[in-house]
Amino acid sequence: MTSEPVIGCVLMDESPKRFLVFFSVVSAIIIVVDQVTKYLVSDLIPLNTSETILPGFLNLVHVKNSGAAFGMFADKGNLINRVILSAISFFALLAILWIVMSQRLEKYALIGFALFFGGAAGNFLDRIIFGEVTDFIDIHFRGIHWPAFNVADFALTTGAIIFCLRLLFANRQST
């Protein structure tokens, strides 16, 4: 079986088992690191307080987000929002698993899906167990302040960036 180059990389020719093991390991690392860091922040930093790490750039905070990205749809105590956000996350996780198990993906797509799955699963666990997500990374620079986020959010964003770059370069190669 020969490999076709795709964006300077090789299609995943390995056995489906190795393919799924790689996906599972990357996803599991994201989930574990996400959950451990959220636990440590919850244990060590009082709720709604901040610890400066790099003055003028990075703080560790302890905030809760009952909504989606950037606090959208946040309404503490709203069971309907919690159920809807949890259901969306659950079906997204199922869709990712279906794609990964049924498609032959190149390595960057696989990495993107693994990051996306791990991030979505980390925040899904928080939403199911606690009803809200713990955010703790607070970046700001020269008056620009990014909303607090966590390891799962970082993995989701990195996965999305990989997908976008993959599409951008695939479109350039096809023209």
SS3 per-residue string spanning 41-64:
HHHHCCCCCEEEEECCCEEEEEEE
Q: Is 75 known to be catalytic?
A: no
Mean pLDDT lowest for which of 9-18, 46-55, 86-95? 9-18
- Burial class of 71 by CB neighbour count within 10 A (0 to 12, 13 to 18, 19+): middle
**Residue 31 near residue 121, CB atoms below 8 Å:** yes
Q: Is 43 known to be catalytic?
A: no
**Residue 100 near residue 106, CB atoms below 8 Å:** no
pLDDT per residue as tens digits for the range 123-167:
999 989 998 899 999 999 988 999 999 999 999 999 999 988 988
Mean pLDDT: which of 16-20, 72-76, 169-173 is highest?
16-20
- Regarding pTM above 0.75, the answer is yes
Q: Which of 34, 126, 135, 138 is catalytic?
A: 135
Helix (H, G, I), strand (E, B) or coil at 74: coil
Alpha carbons within 13 A on the beta-carbon side of 113: 24
Domain ranges of the chain: 15-174
Q: Which of 34, 126, 138, 153 is catalytic?
A: 153
